[in-house]
Chain A
């Protein structure tokens, strides 16, 4: 057959000319190696090694060579080396056929080593490879078809062998019989393998035991014939060994041993010894049997195959028992049972459970990962949201609105100031207007003087009257002039928020001047922000620092610092200077006390700066409610130093807060518990103790009784059941307890096992070989089947269900993950956007309103400003143009130049009335903002700003009462006003009377008592 292969190989060589340089050679070598598999292990190795060396860039070839080498190592029972080679082969290639071959060899290794669980894992992999191969099977080359044939047949045989050894005979049969014998015939070695395995027993089941026996011998003979014809020493040996087992033919067994020894298969050599031993045992030559069994165990390598060792040990136990060496027999039986424990049962479910576990684990991780991703996404969305909110809303519009509102407030402040200035202008105008009747009087008097035209006493009186009038006019002009001059260069405040540190930096630049005086200046850094006039604040700071320097002697120190309080920032300048007495301190802001001759001149300047500071603080306080926290104060101790401090309102600060969320995740675990019913097992215990005592006959009696009770228990569950346990069965049928197990009859199988084990031991001791064989077989089989974890099946089902569930969960979670963003958008963000849009719209409206308000304030402001400027102009024109005339008129009278008197006076009058008309027109354009204003417990109808100004001017204790329902009379006791302030007050009161048509409004100042009558608010504007 391998010549045939060589032929087809050379054909292949001709066809594939363009393949890699050594491909054909490697393939050829591998083919040779394979052909030698069951003929000569050394040749197989040699070809394989050569192929391996040659196939440097031909991975598939290398993998095949490695597979062949692994075969060699398996034969030599160097399983670790074989494993490594197979791993390497698998890592080398993607060729599914070679992967399959490697997988099948791994299965073989697992089977030999009784690694039952792993067997299934590799079987699973091999099945995967096979599935992939089947997807495009027709594309395979002829050579690959050959390899596949080998792999498939080998897989069936290995699987069958595996099932056979774990006692699953049915599966074993099914695995082997699924082989297509017609196809397998093309690979002689595999065909032989098939024939041997069928013949070796356990596969054929039709007919009587004798018929089966004959058929098996036929198969083996067929195998033997072919093996001899095609020179397969391995299978020749196999066939002979199997035949020997069937017939207990010593010669055949001996020949098989010799053939195996020549071939070099360690496992099979041991097997052959065992067969030889069983032949001797059959011939009752147990000493020879023992000798052979010991030879079988002599090679340590076979300990890698527990099943083999177990069968040898079992035979040894039997053999020792036969020669009545009870301790040795027990010893070997114990080893046998221990090995059973090790190699027990089929691990298919466990393997599946393991795979499922693995898969479920992976799914768990996937679920975790997806959940993690979801949480991450949600967190990111939240974060995004958060940041978005912070940025977009807080910063842009609200800041803008705030800024705008500040601007509006500022503009209003300016309007207020301008209104007050305008009031002053109005007061000046009305003062100027008062002059006009006087001029008319002069004119009238002059007219009548002319008509009289004499120098009588009456005329003198008239002239005197004119003089008085001109004097009066002059006086009033002087007052007006003074007033105009007075209000020039008024202080303006520019309020804003600024960090205090910027001022501190400037102050600390003055360190040199302190150092020159030997005073140390220390400025404590601050991050406070204040709302005030920056320039004025710096002025105050410098003033206080300069004062401190002046009053501190050499070696002292001055400290500038700021303390932040909830409502204000306190800025203090402390020194270690001379300090002040309590009396001095009380008057420190009162300039009178400072002008003290006894003090040095430099120190008198103390008060002037402080007075200005006090003035500034007063100005702040007057300006707005916001500055009500403003304060300038000092504390001092004579000789120790002083601390001057002032308070300013806090500026606006923007603060950020970041949140972090911690996520916790817990996992749930599945728990399984199994409870088994306990039964009384008196007889099995008795049997055990009986064996211990060596009363083996009694043991069998106890076993019989035990079987009876077990049968009773069985019958209580299946009243019509006929499968009853006996101490010794016929061996042809399935043992009853095995059937019970399959039918799920509830009995304590541990007791069954115990009783079978004890029976076997007793039978062994009593040399009742058939009884022993039956009990041992039942024990072994039951052991294997019961030791299978029953829950595993449920577990597997559950795991599978859970796997499905988890897959669905993963899919759902992934869907969720995908949907989160659109859902977030649809359900939340869209609304948020909408909401924000609305809010922004509102804010926009607010902003626009604020804008309008600002524009209004600015417009009013500019109107007032223009009016004020115009009035300024009018008044100064009036002043300049007309100032000269009263004196001129007087001069004319004094010099008696009556001729031009009338003309001059008339001109003066016309000019004055024209100019005053111009001013009055300006005044009329401005209206009061009338609204109810609460003042001292009464509600007055008037202009808020002006009324407050009025009561700022008239400071003192105010009492208010209603007068005539229409008016409120305010009385301020023991108070006098400077003339200008009085004019201002009068103007305010007049304006209110005029605007409200309440003619009774007025102000009187008599005997240090000021009475102000203002319109009362009686529910309507």
Chain B
């Protein structure tokens, strides 16, 4: 890892002290060209001398999230400057997404291992999406969940013997189409009578007990069983 210039943005003096300690001990290649405890100071520093990396705390002074804005503006003004978020917001997932959108190169939570040499090197070597342990755990967890619901859908289609027409019929029902409208869809060979018959069969398939079920309940059941993907409810393309 080559030597590089670093600016640390941190409003809590004690934390700054700790962070400086870590860098001094573990990352001797870093040359701290300045520290800022608020936005104004940061802009003043970066104008004076452009760093290679900014270690940015999201919460500064009266705001917990102003770092997102700082990140975005820095990336706009100095696209070559790398930004590593170093934050105590260990629970605010929404904020992570926001700051990634703002162009941050990685997020390190002030928890567990804190800032490691490996993480800083990864960023400096041009890696994007550098996360430390706690964030990665969360990401994997979310990924698993998403994939498993995909799997559930496929299984549902097979389990309940849902064919292409059934799926389209249910999807358009969910989108508020009437049966008459559905019959006019391209590649829909059925008339209203057939669709009604199909609906009755679907009810029999999706509901174990012989209860009376309306279209809404049927569609909701299809959503519950992942036959329909709520994130992907689109009418057929014409």
Contacts and interface: CB of A to CB of B under 8 A. Distances in A.
A465 B17 contact: yes
A169 B64 CA distance: 133
Interface string A466-485: 00110010000000000000
A989 B114 contact: no
B15 A920 contact: no
Nearest to B115: A444
B63 A472 contact: no
Contacts of A728: none
Contact of A999 (B61, B68, B88, B110): B68
Nearest to A997: B98
A434 B69 contact: no
Given A1003-B63, A1005-B62, A441 B68 contact: no
Contacts of A436: 88, 90
Nearest to B89: A433
Contact of B63 (A468, A917, A989): A989
A881 interface: no
Contacts of A1003: 61-63
Interface string B59-84: 01111111111000000000000000
B177 to A, nearest CB: 29
B178 interface: no
Contacts of A461: 21
Contact of A440 (B25, B63, B98, B112): B112
Given A440-B111, A441-B14, A441-B15, A990 B64 contact: yes
B224 to A, nearest CB: 25
B18 interface: yes
Nearest to A989: B62
Contacts of A437: 12, 15, 88, 110-111
Contacts of B67: 999
A539 to B, nearest CB: 39
Nearest to A1002: B63
A1004 B62 contact: yes
Nearest to B90: A436
A993 interface: yes
Contacts of B237: none
Q: Max chain A CB contacts within 10 Å: which of B22, B65, B68, B113?
A: B65
A219 B7 CA distance: 165
Contact of A1004 (B12, B21, B61, B91): B61
Contacts of B112: 440
Given A436-B88, A465-B21, A1001 B14 contact: no
Interface string A374-408: 00000000000000000000000000000000000
Interface string A424-442: 0000001001101110110
Interface residues of B, number: 30
Contacts of A1004: 38, 61-62
B18 A999 contact: no
Report which residue of A437, A440, A472, A917 has the largest number of chain B beta carbons within 10 angstroms of its beta carbon: A437
Given A990-B63, A999-B65, A438 B15 contact: yes
Given A469-B14, A986-B62, A1001-B63, A920 B91 contact: yes
B169 to A, nearest CB: 35
Nearest to A1000: B69
A434 B66 contact: no
Contacts of A1001: 63, 65-66
Nearest to B102: A999
Contacts, number: 88
Contacts of B66: 999-1002
A1005 B21 CA distance: 29
B217 to A, nearest CB: 27
B14 A438 contact: yes
Given A440-B114, A1003-B62, A434 B88 contact: yes
Contact of B69 (A440, A462, A999): A999
A430 B63 CA distance: 12
B120 to A, nearest CB: 15
Contacts of A652: none
Contacts of B90: 436
Nearest to B98: A999
Chain A contact patch, size range: 35 or more
A68 B98 CA distance: 132
A448 interface: yes
B63 A445 contact: no
Contacts of B95: 999
A441 B90 CA distance: 14
Given A999-B65, A1000-B69, A440 B38 contact: no
A1002 B88 contact: no
Contacts of B111: 437, 440
A74 B30 CA distance: 158
Given A436-B88, A437-B88, A440-B111, A445 B18 contact: yes
Interface string B23-64: 001000000000000100000000000000000000011111
Interface in A281-299: none
Given A436-B90, A437-B110, A468 B14 contact: yes
Contact of A444 (B12, B14, B60, B114): B114
Contacts of B18: 441, 444-445, 465, 469
A1001 B61 CA distance: 11
Contact of B14 (A462, A472, A917, A999): A472
Interface in B122-141: none
Contacts of B88: 433-434, 436-437
A993 B15 contact: no
Contacts of B114: 440-441, 444
Contacts of A462: 21
A279 to B, nearest CB: 130
A841 B22 CA distance: 73
A597 to B, nearest CB: 44
Nearest to B19: A441
A935 to B, nearest CB: 17
A467 B95 CA distance: 32
Nearest to B68: A999
Nearest to B38: A1004
Interface in A447-496: 448, 458, 461-462, 465, 468-469, 472
A994 interface: yes
A202 to B, nearest CB: 112
A360 to B, nearest CB: 80
Given A434-B88, A441-B14, A448 B62 contact: no
B110 A440 contact: yes
A940 to B, nearest CB: 16
B103 to A, nearest CB: 13
Nearest to A473: B14
A1004 B69 CA distance: 16
Nearest to A964: B69
Which of A444, A472, A986 has the largest count of B CB atoms less than 10 A from its CB? A444
A479 to B, nearest CB: 15
Nearest to B99: A999
Nearest to A909: B111
B86 to A, nearest CB: 10
30 contacts: A434-B88, A436-B90, A437-B12, A437-B15, A438-B14, A438-B15, A440-B110, A440-B112, A440-B114, A441-B14, A441-B110, A444-B113, A445-B21, A465-B14, A465-B18, A468-B17, A469-B14, A990-B63, A993-B63, A993-B65, A994-B64, A999-B65, A999-B95, A999-B98, A1000-B65, A1001-B63, A1002-B62, A1004-B38, A1004-B62, A1013-B63
Interface of B: 12, 14-15, 17-18, 21-22, 25, 38, 60-69, 88, 90-91, 94-95, 98, 110-114
Given A444-B18, A999-B67, 20 more contacts: A434-B88, A436-B88, A437-B88, A437-B110, A438-B12, A441-B110, A445-B21, A448-B25, A461-B21, A462-B21, A469-B14, A990-B62, A993-B63, A999-B65, A1000-B63, A1000-B69, A1002-B60, A1002-B66, A1004-B38, A1004-B62
Interchain residue pairs A-B with the least CB separation, the first 3: A1002-B63, A1003-B62, A999-B68
